[in-house]
Structure 1
């Protein structure tokens, strides 16, 4: 009698960022034979050059702000001068040390992730990967890509991420004209940083470098910074920016960026020029999908090069999935991770909950932060969603008063009639930590009364959430 044993499912993962990493871990946990191909390092750009280092830099900037504003709380820093009289010391920023620390943290995080993959039994290939049809991956390895490694697979998860968009009239030189990947090579805080682009990346770095002591000019082509965000939230951030000494040029489009001597000159569409020491060009990202065999394998792409996926991260080719910034989903590390897991669960027949982008909480790490989830006020006002809106300024929150917090609010959106929480916005320090109760309410369709019945600590910033929910009480 001949027995046939079922062969392990073979999963190939192209790219080791959050989506690829989670896909590989999930596949190994479910007993698959997993191979991951990554060219730069496990964690991808999210860990090595984007999320981890940028948020570490922002944390340092927040510490600087806390020291600088502590006088408002009655804490004063003085040193004795030669005459014995007290003098207030300056806050010193050692950017070289800061960048050394954050790049070290990024490398350590990458190594930790690599070790986790190895423990799980994942085969890791370092090289440039591409598809050869729908069931084969090829990795160019060795010095100069002189060697090749071929992997036969049953399922492919493409998680190749995205790179900074480069403008032909503002080509980075890595010294004065920079993308966000170049910032960690700086030895000193720029004397005058010009930031082109007022989206999430531009606003975050503008906020951080202003806190670190740089003169900052933020060039925004729209009426307001953060044009895709809640209008009230963007208004608070712009007010804080200008109050802190940042120059915000609204309705101004950068025509070109040129290096002139030891500085840069940005020419605007109306002919005006702005001179500075450095320029950060933050005008979006492009997916790393060119030249890796996707179209040849039959995978549908958008005009921008993003991979079309459905709610389980599947592409137009049944055996190929895609996760993260290279796909048509939201460009968030948390979404990429969820897509990676969902793709593998679906491919291997495990239970799957399709990704609901409406329930994704996101955060902008300015000072203060902006956290959002669910439907937006604009969608409610346009009639796309039916809801009631309630906004509670943090100025009425006792914990905010104790901490000297003057800017921010909690805003809740609840379905008209039922009171079901359908969204919310928080503008506050650590808004990223505060938004979870609202995200849970949106995910599990809780009403404002159910949210209000939760016991928040008194005094606490989170108490503003239950206070807002209580104000929206639905009379039975």
Structure 2
């Protein structure tokens, strides 16, 4: 019999923690997991899944607006925020139940309460129970970063946006990252007056500038207002319940202010110092390529490590950890050529190097592009154009990156990412026969 209560104790039942628990159990480990909020983590409960459902719901506004050109007559159309909100939250409840079933089916014991580390091989639950484990995995994810400004308590984060009692007529979004742009697009499509405030002149840093500029143009044409190089100084709640944001010399009234300035590792009060683990400058848990911390018995995966904050990455890290520690199959996660998307309207997606990154690493870079009007937009009063950009090393003809903005960009990009990961060349794309008529065919017609 082991000297420990469990072989593995996981703090956090998000995507990474659940995958690690399932795989470790399949290797014969005795596993338990503690979750202080809801099983499923950020992605399932308050992130990418419910967000994508809001995106789908809001897209009906555009489709209905030009349905008449397809011959459809739709009378009395209206939108009810509460119906969409409740439908989304009901599906979140369903998914949480499925995640819980996954743990049960894999013989993983659940503790639905907060757990903190009390030493290299011990944790303490909020109820006071103390538990020992041969290994501890920290998978607590991230948490919205809120600015230290007067009145910030009147603002909401992406956690609360899914539970708003009413749809805001005027929404102020603070931030220029993917969370900001996605919710700006959702509420703009639903009819809210949306203003985006960003402290720099650049939105969506890290994405290819060419497609970001196109998205910015489309967003403004759709009515989203941008105030760049601006900072929110304070927020005041007025007598009528509305909010007044002070930008320093300018004020803006809004019904809701969404702070979307990034996320930070959720390590506050976690007790890792009791095991001799020193956190990074952002509060992240430093780990090696095998997800091991400075304490040999404690590992960490997912957003809490602040490596790549993406759900599929956390899942791969959790799986690799379990195989390494319990399956006698040491392996690591490769972080190059990870595809990503912004579910803005229209969506943006990319994989590999941007033009700016490529020019810093390669002496001869050529950019191929296709600037086109998607066929579905021919029925729309909006003359919005899609843009695909392929970054190529001229010396080898190897494709270094693909970036796109337009309808269904993420769906197309996932397949294109395989080609970039495989190291295919521009000639390989050129040799592929186009699938016509489709938007994806533009990838083999780039010039």
Give the shorter-chain TM-score range: over 0.9
Q: Is the 8 A contact 2:39 2:100 kept in 1?
A: yes
Question: 1:44-86 CA deviation, whole Å, 9 max, x = no partner?
Answer: 2221122222221111011222112334x4445354xxxxxxx
Q: 1:105 maps to what in 2?
A: 91
Q: Name the SS for the 1:148 alignment partner.
A: coil
Q: Is residue 288 of structure 1 aligned with residue 266 of structure 2?
A: yes
In the TM superposition, residue 467 of structure 1 has moved relative to its aligned partner by: 2.1
Report the Cα distance in structure 1 between the residues aligned to 2:123 and 2:204, rounded to whole angstroms: 39
Report the Cα distance in structure 2 between the residues aligned to 1:99 and 1:352, rounded to whole angstroms: 43
Q: Is residue 243 of structure 1 aligned with residue 216 of structure 2?
A: no
Report the Cα distance in structure 1 between the residues aligned to 2:271 and 2:348, rounded to whole angstroms: 38
| Gap regions ≥5 residues in structure 1 | 80-88, 141-146, 472-476
Q: Is residue 31 of structure 1 aligned with residue 28 of structure 2?
A: yes
Q: Is the 8 A contact 2:434 2:445 kept in 1?
A: no
Q: Cα distance 1:386–1:127, how it changes in 2: closer, same or farther (>3 A)?
A: farther
Report the Cα distance in structure 2 between the residues aligned to 1:293 and 1:383, rounded to whole angstroms: 41
Q: Is the 8 A contact 1:177 1:259 kept in 2?
A: no
Report the Cα distance in structure 1 between the residues aligned to 2:4 and 2:160, rounded to whole angstroms: 46
Report the Cα distance in structure 1 between the residues aligned to 2:114 and 2:20, rounded to whole angstroms: 19
Question: 1:270-312 CA deviation, whole Å, 9 max, x = no partner?
Answer: x111112211111112211121121221223211101112333
TM-score by length of 2: 0.92
Q: Cα distance 1:163–1:171, how it changes in 2: closer, same or farther (>3 A)?
A: farther
| Gap regions ≥5 residues in structure 2 | none
Q: 1:136 maps to what in 2?
A: 122
In the TM superposition, residue 94 of structure 1 has moved relative to its aligned partner by: 0.8
1:310 to 272, 279, 288: 288
Q: Cα distance 1:40–1:8, how it changes in 2: closer, same or farther (>3 A)?
A: closer
2:129 to 146, 149, 152: 149
2:233 to 248, 255, 258: 255
Q: 2:49 maps to what in 1?
A: 52
Report the Cα distance in structure 1 between the residues aligned to 2:161 and 2:263, rounded to whole angstroms: 16
Q: Name the SS for the 2:43 alignment partner.
A: helix
In the TM superposition, residue 384 of structure 1 has moved relative to its aligned partner by: 6.0
- Give the count of matched residue pairs: 445
State which drifts further: 204-213 or 418-427.
418-427
Q: Is the 8 A contact 2:292 2:298 kept in 1?
A: yes
In the TM superposition, residue 18 of structure 1 has moved relative to its aligned partner by: 0.9
Q: 2:143 maps to what in 1?
A: 163
Report the Cα distance in structure 2 between the residues aligned to 1:118 and 1:284, rounded to whole angstroms: 33
1:372 to 333, 337, 350: 350
Q: Cα distance 1:374–1:386, how it changes in 2: closer, same or farther (>3 A)?
A: farther
Q: Which structure is richer in relative contact order (CA contacts within 8 A, separation 6 or more)?
A: 2
| Structure 1 segment 162-241 matched on structure 2, within 5 A | 162-169=142-149, 171-173=151-153, 177-241=155-219
Q: Is residue 63 of structure 1 aligned with residue 60 of structure 2?
A: yes
Report the Cα distance in structure 1 between the residues aligned to 2:63 and 2:290, rounded to whole angstroms: 43
Q: Name the SS for the 2:273 alignment partner.
A: coil
Q: Is the 8 A contact 1:157 1:323 kept in 2?
A: yes
In the TM superposition, residue 234 of structure 1 has moved relative to its aligned partner by: 1.6
Q: Is residue 77 of structure 1 aligned with residue 57 of structure 2?
A: no
In the TM superposition, residue 377 of structure 1 has moved relative to its aligned partner by: 1.1
Q: Name the SS for the 2:8 alignment partner.
A: strand
Report the Cα distance in structure 2 between the residues aligned to 1:223 and 1:252, rounded to whole angstroms: 9
Q: Name the SS for the 2:305 alignment partner.
A: coil
Q: Is the 8 A contact 1:371 1:427 kept in 2?
A: yes
Q: Name the SS for the 1:101 alignment partner.
A: helix
Report the Cα distance in structure 1 between the residues aligned to 2:343 and 2:161, rounded to whole angstroms: 17
Q: 1:266 maps to what in 2?
A: 245
Q: Is residue 16 of structure 1 aligned with residue 2 of structure 2?
A: no
Q: Cα distance 1:399–1:266, how it changes in 2: closer, same or farther (>3 A)?
A: closer
| Structure 1 segment 325-404 matched on structure 2, within 5 A | 325-383=303-361, 387-395=365-373
Q: Cα distance 1:205–1:390, how it changes in 2: closer, same or farther (>3 A)?
A: same
Report the Cα distance in structure 1 between the residues aligned to 2:6 and 2:254, rounded to whole angstroms: 56
Q: Is the 8 A contact 1:309 1:328 kept in 2?
A: no
Report the Cα distance in structure 2 between the residues aligned to 1:264 and 1:51, rounded to whole angstroms: 27
Report the Cα distance in structure 2 between the residues aligned to 1:5 and 1:285, rounded to whole angstroms: 38
Report the Cα distance in structure 2 between the residues aligned to 1:277 and 1:367, rounded to whole angstroms: 22
Q: Is the 8 A contact 1:288 1:326 kept in 2?
A: yes
Report the Cα distance in structure 2 between the residues aligned to 1:308 and 1:342, rounded to whole angstroms: 17
In the TM superposition, residue 361 of structure 1 has moved relative to its aligned partner by: 0.8
In the TM superposition, residue 33 of structure 1 has moved relative to its aligned partner by: 1.2
